[in-house]
Structure 1
Amino acid sequence: MSKGRLDPRTFLLRCRRAYATAPAPKRERPATAPNQTPPLRQIRDNVELYGENTVVRNYRNHRDVPRKIADNLRKMNELNERLKGPREEYNNLQALLYRKESDQDDIIPRMKTLKLGIDELQFEHGVLDAHARAMALSLPNLTSSQTPTNNEPRLQSYINYNPENPPSYDSSADHALIGEKLKLIDFASASTATGWGFYYLLNEAALLEQALVQYALSVALKHGWSVATPPSLVYSHMADACGFQPRDQNDEQQIWQVAQTGKDVVKPPRSLAATAEIPLAGMYAGKAIREEDLPVKLVGPSRCFRAEAGARGVDTKGLYRVHEFTKVEMFAWTNSPPARDGIPEEEVWTKYATEVFDEMVGIQTEILESLGLPCRVLEMPSSDLGASAYRKIDIEAMFPSRKAKDGGWGEVTSVSICTDYQSRRLDTRILEANATRKKFPHTVNGTAIAVPRVLAAILENGWREKEGCVVIPEVLRRYMSGMETISSRGKDWSALTKI
């Protein structure tokens, strides 16, 4: 054993201690998973900022992670300095080895000794690097200065609603009761067939679902978005990369895991997509987008699956919080500032993403306004942001049946800027001419229509108790063969053959 070197047992024990302090990955990533590039230098140079961010994002268990990352990077630099001498000596000996006059009996043992020392230092460097990357990937995104940090959303505006003269509602304006009365929704049969949190949409409600999808697509297409229908099954590491991860191991999961049975099944685990955001983001995983093609804006309908359908009480009633639903999602990749180690000013950092973000909010507003739904627009607080979101706006509609909770308001759409959080984890790059460093696009995602909630809001806001019917929003009637109301009277479907 050379002087100053650790014996193998001591070295392995130190490595195990180093690994023990690293956040445990949710699941092992397969070899086919995209490369991940966390912003290690940004974290090292902004330890205080990242540490404070974990607090406002309710990741308090990660408060010391940025400092540990900086310590690891410092130790890695020290190891690089220690490696310079042995590497230079090794290269010089290797050059001497090929000279005829060299004494190989003396050179080769010296090279072997040097190689052992170099390998040991490189292995220690690799442990520190893997540890730093794992810790960095466990951190949430940074937070916009426009995001409230007091746990309360900030009201931006109202849609179809005057708080000084709020609308009045019939006491029976409850979509679960209306759905049963008008034979539109069957929860009982679904609970028998599949379980709690599932439902059948029947008759006009089934048509209304398709009408909402078609209308939302038409609005997005009118604004220049391209349509895509994504798969509903994704590799689980794709969901992780998009930020669908709990704040700690005790948090409840939202993702349905899909079991794969059979002998010798060695496949990457798959999940049912909680939102089309995941498979849409995966379209460019491991790929580069030409800078001149940005922004790339996609809108797509899909089925969504949520394993956790909400707490007991008012949220478990009806369609508001369910396990499976149809949604039309918007997803975009935008340009980003020039690649560098520091964090640019916010206006520069999110310039391109904010343009698409505002466009998404405009599309959401147009859809909900034309549906006649009373809504409010909220800037959401940091405690409500998922791991990937840098900034988030929700639009909530009025649900008379939820008056006992949040005054009747309930989320129907959401839009988030995710900066380069997702693209770094999915290895989605920007292809620039004469680029010397990797540049990652910023991603933005938002709901065009979450069908069950909007459908429920239409039933409750369109309910006319005296007439025993629901008024269908005018913009949807073209997709329902001109149908104006839904009632319990005899249903004549012959007119729908014109669709």
Structure 2
Amino acid sequence: MLDIAFIRHNAAAVAAAARAKGLPLDVDRILALDAALRRDKAGLEALKAERNRLAAGFVAADEAARAAGAERSRTLTGEIAALEAGVDDTGRALRGLLLTVPNLPWEGAPVGPDESANEVIRVVGQPPVFDFPALDHVALAERRGWLDLPRIAKVAGARSYALKGRLALLEQALLLDTSKRLARQGFQPICVPALAREEAFVNTGHFPFAPEDTFELARDGLHLAGTAEIALNSLHAGEIIDERDLPILYAGFSPCFRREAGSGGRDVRGLLRVHQFYKVEQYVICRNDAEESAHWHQRLLANAEAILQDLGLPYRIIECATGDMGPGKVRMNDIETWVPSLARYRETHSCSTLHEWQARRANIRWRDRQGRVRFCHTLNNTAIATPRILVPLIENHQTPEGRVRLPAFLRSYLGGEAFL
């Protein structure tokens, strides 16, 4: 959400941002509702002031003046009630539209309608060249008895999975090790539920933009979240945080659920695009300072890169285009990791800066040492998501014998052995 005063004075820039992000937005309607709301609020204050003046002079007035005053007071009460109802209706309509206003992208974002306009800004590592017939992750895992897709499909339907044996242990080791390394860097590990109320999805901006991608539990008034960010963002909703307590750094672990609506037939084989997965999410609340946000953006990105480097995986950093970054993002970088069976890079991480956009929706503020209260900035980044990361991990580290080499830092979790 953007400040209505900012929209009022930067209407052209807001309209341009909506066009760049491919979102329909009636800025004129927003400004008209804003003007009507301010006019009606001013009228309401005037009517209340008149009623107060009548009440103050009632005792000293003569009988005729009191009668006239009482009649006028009754009229004013009716007019005030009608105007209050109008103000409420206009306010709700305006807030509904404000929730659809996108953030302004930073000046370095490529302008384009979708991921086709994304730019590669850095490539790290070289894809492996195999001198044997390489297998994809499904064939490798099924050969070792680590994956059971047909049986679990009978239980949970398509795009479900069941990891077994050492691959199940590897998934847990990755999640635990990521949480431990973030804790060493000052991020507080926190486990949050996947269940959340609709308001939490509004606070992050997932609603009203993409409700179709969530699983709804209508009887309970809850949805299943696709990221710990949804719970973490609303954890401090309505709070005023002292400057001494900033930044707040979380390493949020949660099960995650996504319908993958609109994904069509893409990546239906194996573990790349499943309905349920696990993730450790980096989440930051900091002061509303652009330089500080930029610092944390790079820090979050570096943390994710360090994990991929320790895993020995080739990857590239993407500068996301305006039409691919999502409504609330100021800046978004994806990390795409090399998947040999697809002979291309696939997204495994995403890093986002949102400035005040989420904090305004959730009403998260901070108080500086001079007592001034302002909205915070928020950022988030995938530290690791499983089972997706297992796809490049298994495929890039396979051997001619169909075994999988373990990155050195994970071996202690799996009996010290060099192979999975």
Same fold per superposition (TM over 0.5): yes
- Correspondence 1:226-241 to 2 at 5 A: 226-241=188-203
Aligned pair 1:204/2:166, yes or no? yes
Q: Which residue of 2 aligns with 1:459?
A: 394
The answer to whether 1:124 aligns with 2:80 is: no
Q: 1:42 to 1:311 in 2, by over 3 A?
A: same
Q: Cα distance, 1:309 vs. partner? A: 6.3
Match of 2:270 in 1: 318
Superimposed CA distance per residue, residues 365-409 of structure 1 (whole angstroms, 9 cap, x where no aligned partner): 110011000100111111112232221111101101223xxxx11
C-alpha displacement of 1:75: 2.3
| Corresponding residue number in structure 2 for 1:421 | 357
Which letter maps to 2:381?
G
Where in structure 1 are there 5+ consecutive unaligned residues? 1-36, 261-266, 338-349, 487-499
Listed as ranges, the matches of 1:93-112 within 5 Å are: 93-99=54-60, 101=62, 103-112=65-74
> How many angstroms does 1:190 deviate by?
1.0
Secondary structure of the residue aligned to 2:78 is helix
Matched position secondary structure for 2:256: strand
Residue pair 1:254, 1:306 contacting (<8 A) in 2 also: yes
- Structure 2 residue ranges without an equivalent (≥5): none
For residues 276 and 78 of structure 1, the distance between their equivalents in structure 2, rounded to whole angstroms, comes to 41
Note the C-alpha offset of 1:67. 1.8
Aligned mates of 2:262, 2:385 — CA distance in 1: 16
Give secondary structure in 1 for the equivalent of 2:282. strand
* 1:194 CA displacement: 0.9
Contact 2:329-2:352 at 8 Å conserved across structures: yes
C-alpha distance in structure 2 between counterparts of 1:81 and 1:301, whole Å: 48
SS at match of 2:361: helix
Contact 1:417 1:444 (C-alpha < 8 Å) held by counterparts: yes
Post-superposition Cα deviations, 1:42-72, rounded to whole Å, max 9, x if no partner, equal 111111111111111110x22x2x2211112
Whether the aligned pair in 1 keeps the contact of 2:2 and 2:103 (CA below 8 Å) is no
Q: Where in structure 2 are the equivalents of 1:330-479 lying within 5 Å?
A: 330-337=282-289, 350-403=290-343, 408-435=344-371, 438-464=373-399, 466-479=400-413
Corresponding residue number in structure 2 for 1:218: 180
Q: Which residue of 2 aligns with 1:154?
A: 119
Deviation at 1:434, TM superposition (A): 4.8
Pick aligned residue for 2:21 from 38, 57, 61: 57
Cα pair 2:128 2:396 within 8 Å, conserved: no
Shift of residue 80, structure 1, vs aligned partner: 4.3
Any residues of structure 2 matched to 1:259-298 within 5 Å, and which?
259-260=218-219, 269-298=221-250
> Which shifted more, 92-101 or 172-181?
92-101
| Paired residues of 2:152 and 2:160 also in contact (CA < 8 A) | yes
Q: Secondary structure at the match of 1:157?
A: strand
For normalisation by structure 1, the TM-score amounts to: 0.79
Normalising by the residue count of structure 2, what TM-score does the alignment of the two structures yield? 0.93
1:361, 1:372 → 2: CA distance?
A: 17
Cα displacement (A) at 1:460: 0.4
